[in-house]
Each structure stands twice: as C-alpha cells, then as structure tokens.
Structure 1
Amino acid sequence: MRVEPVGHIRSQWGEGPIWFGTHLYYVDIEGRMVHRYNPEDGSEKSWPVGERVGTVVPRAGGGLVIAGDHGFSFLDEETGALTPIADPEADKPDNRFNDGKCSPDGRFFAGSISLAKITGDAKLYRLDPDLSVHEAFAPVTNSNGIAWSLDGKFAYYIDTPRKEVLAFDYEDGNLKNLRSVISTAHIDASPDGMTIDADGNLWIAFCHGGCVSCFDPAKGQEIHRIALPCLETTACAFGGEDLADFFVTTGVHKTAKEEHAGRLFVIRGLGVKGVPAFAFKG
C-alpha cells in the first residue's frame, strides 16, 4: 500500500472529492475553488467560484452542481459560469453549505454548517431534479459525509459533533427511522467526509486526526485505519479506471507546518474498490 500526494494544487481546505467519468472533482472551501484532476496525464483544471464552496457533484446531462455560501448553483465546466438555483439559508449569514452527495435516484443532498457553532442551527437539504429544495433532516450543527448502502435502501450520514454515523431508511427522497450505527468517540478527531466501498463498508476521513478509517456499519466496528502525513484529513473517494484508487483531500492546519498539507493524496494497493458515484438528474 502506498500513500502519496498527486497533482500540484495545494488547497487551503480541500473537501468533497468525487470520481466521475475519467476525472476526480473536489473543492477548496476557503480558496473558493472547484478543482478537477485527471490521473491519466496529471492535468488539472480549476474554476474560481467567488464563494466558499462546500461540495460539488456532476449533472447527468453534463456540467456540475455546487453548494456553498449562496446555496445551490449550476457550474458550467466550459465557461466557468455559475447559475444560481436556490439558497434556503439566505437569512443565516453565519451558515454555509458543507458536504453533500447525490442519492441513487439522482437527488442532491447537501447540508449546512453553523460557523458560529450554534448547536442545531443547521440542516440537511434535498435538491430534487425539478430544482425544488426540501428539508431532509434537522437539527444538525455541522452537516458532513453522506453515503447510500449498495442496495440504495439506507442512507448513512454524519453530523460531526455527534461523533457517530447515523442511518436512515431511504425511499423516494425521504429519510426515515433514524438510528445510530457507528460510534467514533474512541477516535480523538472529528468525523468528516465519508464514502462506501464495494463490500458495503464505510470509509471516514477524520479532521484533526490525520487518518481515514474503515467501518462495518452492520457491526458498528472499525476494521482498518490508515495514517496520512497531514492532520487535516477532510474527505475521501474511490476513483481511477477500476475504482481501486483511494483519494483523500486535506487542509492546512492553523499552526502545524506540514510539507504536503492541502494536497490531494492517493492511496494505492488498498485491496478494495469503490462503487460509481451518482449524478444529479436535474
């Protein structure tokens, strides 16, 4: 197994990696950028978006959707133009959108974070293909990783301060029957971005912890932990031609001097594969 930085971009706070087509997309929240990395030739492309952007997902018909300071917007990959969709928290200047992903049925789930750290002042939202926005789950404080089970019947979700993974029954865009399936209290760090592998296990990046860990949601047990050379490990995604490469975004720590902080990392030889990401159908 090899852990190494790739590309040349150094983000202030990298987040939200997602593999689609032949590229890895991710964001730099504080740098106000969306990035695209092509591992085939090492090329990179960046789009300045003029706002703190928490996550990016592909559209089924082409282009991207982002969620950030000003809510949901379309991003044209060719021109870089942004087209606003909706901002459900325009009345909350101390909140912004954070992590998010699309469900198997093509809805975009993204949640907000209370930058003032007001407990319960944020929410998880659902953007439907008809561009209507709905409250999916509340209250939350720091909405983070979300993933769906391999059969699409369950959604897994992280509200970071809870230090646990929540599970819901999922049907027609609705999250029901809330329960806790994993506790991360034994790890002295904050659970952040999350993805699922082809075996149905969850991989979680731990902010301030310099690691990613794999959990079995059926048993609630930690299976494997991988250390990275940066304290601020923020999110993760499988990618590459056969989804066997494991990408991890990182951020720059406020005080620690780390050579590769803010870089995109790839872990090869992990021995597991991911599953294809879902696109927004709107």
Structure 2
Amino acid sequence: MTVTCVWPLGALLGEGPVWHDGALWFVDIKSDRIHRFDPANGDRRSWTTPPRPGFLAPRRSGGFIVGLKRGLHDFDPASGTFLLRQEVDADHPGNRLNDGFVDAAGRLWFGTMDDAGRAPTGSLWRYDARGLAMMDPGYRITNGPAMSPDGRTLYHVDTLGRTIYAFDVDAGGALSNRRLFATVARGYPDGPAVDAEGTLWCALYGGWGIDRFAPDGRLIGHVALPCAAVTKAAFGGPDRRTLYVTTARQELSPAALAEQPLAGGLFALPVAVPGLPQGVFG
C-alpha cells in the first residue's frame, strides 16, 4: 500500500479524523485546533478551539458536536463559535473527552480519560436524544469506539492495557457481554475504524503503523507508516476507499524528529475494501 503524507502540518496530537461534506476533518488535541483537508483541491483550513478538542462528529442539523475538555459543544464552522451542549464527567475535573464515533443510528459514543493518563477515572459514554449515559467505567486512556457493519458489536480500546474489547449492542444501544477482542503487542492500540467487511483497522501509538484484525479478532495484516505515534484511521473519499490517518509528534526528542520529520502529519492510502458510511448525530 502506498502511504502519502497529504498534509505535513506537524500536529502535536492529531486525532479524530472524520469524512464529511467532501473533506477530511480532524483535531489537534494539544494545540487546540480543528483542521479540514479537501483532497479535491488541496484546500486546508484550521480553527482555534477551546481547550482539548478530542473529537468532532457531524450533526444532522449542520455543523458538528465537538468533545472538549469539559463536555460536548456545538461547533459552527462558518462562524467558528462553540456553544456548550452537555457537561460531562463533572465529578472528575482532571478528566477530558478523548475520541468519539457516531453509529448508523445517530448515537454518539465517546470516552473520557484522566488528562495525565494516570488515574482510571475514564469511562465509555453514549449520548443520544435520551441524554447522556455512562456505559463502562475504569479506563486510564480510552479510544474508539467503532462498530461492526451489522451494528451489533461495539469495539472499545483500553490503550494502556493494550486491549481491544468487544460488546454486544442491542437495538436501543444497551451494551452487554464485554469480552476480549484482541491484544496489541506492537505499541499501544489507539483509534480504530471498521470497513464494510468487518475488518478492524487499529492505529498503533508507538507502533509505527496500523494493525488489521479479522472480525474474529485474528491479526491479519499491518500497514507501516513513517512515524511512530499513529493515532486514528478513518475511511473517506467519494467511494470510501481512502484510509486517512492522523499522527502525533508530542514528546519526541530532536533526534526522533530528525528520524521522522513527517510525525504529526495527515496521511492517506488507498484500500480495496471501502469503509462504512460516516454516521451523523441526530
């Protein structure tokens, strides 16, 4: 697979790529930025955000929901404004929101984590028309979630535990039967994405690439990238056959940056199997 750096912007902690409205949107958590890349004309735009944008999710009514440090906010790209929608995890002021996903039913799933990555105060959450619900506690760093093509299995990542869990999902969004899906030996599992055949592509923080897992959890492939801290993958393009990948350069020494000058860039590679359609909240 030919991997191309389509935007060498040097993000400190690039994350949360989503394909929406003909462009790839993503965040830089540690630089407080939202970025938009249009592959049709190469246009690149950026917005300054309040502290710690962990993800953005398109809304059916327009604009995005953005997970910021203290909660869910509505973001209007035209004006660049943010409006608090829902406070999250008020009992844990050291937490922030980290990574999210909208399923085919329009429900938002996301994680919280200790901003220092030390205390197990993070949780997996669900947010929809019924409100906010905490679904699974006890994480130091959460990533994902992602969902199978039939919408019956949700995958969630315990990054520091080097573990990907699977849950059964019912029609109402209730979770049950948490179980081990896969463990990661090369680096730490970060953001996942699922393709139309149910293959899970998991970014590897410190692992120099992406691991691919079959629906039964078997490791079936690896895609190498020219930087160590690979944070999340998302399918995009008009046919969803381009895999976009965010990366990071935080905490790299001068020697490491010299070895991997494209760290923090946005990458793209063609894939044979398309991804699932991007979910829209609402």
- Category of TM-score, reference length = shorter chain: over 0.9
Structure 1 residues 116 and 252: alpha-carbon distance in aligned structure 2, compared to 1, 3 A threshold: closer
> SS of the counterpart of 1:2?
coil
* TM-score, normalization by structure 1: 0.94
Structure 1 residues 253 and 82: alpha-carbon distance in aligned structure 2, compared to 1, 3 A threshold: closer
Farther off after superposition, 72-81 or 164-173: 164-173
Q: Gaps (5+ residues) in structure 1?
A: none
- Find the aligned partners of 2:162 and 2:168 in 1 and give their Cα distance: 20
Per the TM alignment, residue 226 of structure 1 is displaced from its structure 2 partner at its CA by 1.0
User: Which residue number in structure 2 is paired with residue 109 of structure 1?
Assistant: 109
| Contact 2:15 2:26 survives alignment (8 Å) | yes
Q: Gaps (5+ residues) in structure 2?
A: none
Letter in 2 for 1:62: G
User: Which residue number in structure 2 is paired with residue 267 of structure 1?
Assistant: 269
Give RMSD over aligned pairs: 1.4
- Find the aligned partners of 2:133 and 2:243 in 1 and give their Cα distance: 32
User: Kindly, what percent of the aligned residue pairs are identical?
Assistant: 34
User: Which residue number in structure 1 is paired with residue 218 of structure 2?
Assistant: 221
Q: Deviations over 1:126-170 (max 9, x none)?
A: 11135x211121122211011111111111111212212111111
Q: Deviations over 1:217-259 (max 9, x none)?
A: 31x2111101111111110011111111111101004211121
Letter in 2 for 1:214: R
Per the TM alignment, residue 209 of structure 1 is displaced from its structure 2 partner at its CA by 1.1
User: Which residue number in structure 2 is paired with residue 207 of structure 1?
Assistant: 205
Query: Quick check: 1:252 aligned with 2:249?
Result: yes
Per the TM alignment, residue 10 of structure 1 is displaced from its structure 2 partner at its CA by 2.7
Q: Deviations over 1:4-37 (max 9, x none)?
A: 1113533111001111231111100011011111
| Contact 1:106 1:129 survives alignment (8 Å) | no
Letter in 2 for 1:235: K
* Equivalent residue runs for 1:1-282 within 5 Å: 1-7=1-7, 9-129=9-129, 132-171=131-170, 172-184=172-184, 186-187=185-186, 189-218=187-216, 220-254=217-251, 255=253, 256-257=256-257, 258-268=260-270, 270-281=271-282
Q: Deviations over 1:41-88 (max 9, x none)?
A: 010121111211111110012100111212110001110110101222
> SS of the counterpart of 2:155?
strand
| Contact 1:129 1:280 survives alignment (8 Å) | no
Moved over 3 A (4+): 116-119
Letter in 1 for 2:212: C
- Find the aligned partners of 2:166 and 2:176 in 1 and give their Cα distance: 9
| Contact 2:50 2:68 survives alignment (8 Å) | no
* TM-score, normalization by structure 2: 0.94
Letter in 2 for 1:142: I
> SS of the counterpart of 1:178?
strand
Aligned residues: 276
- Find the aligned partners of 1:61 and 1:232 in 2 and give their Cα distance: 34
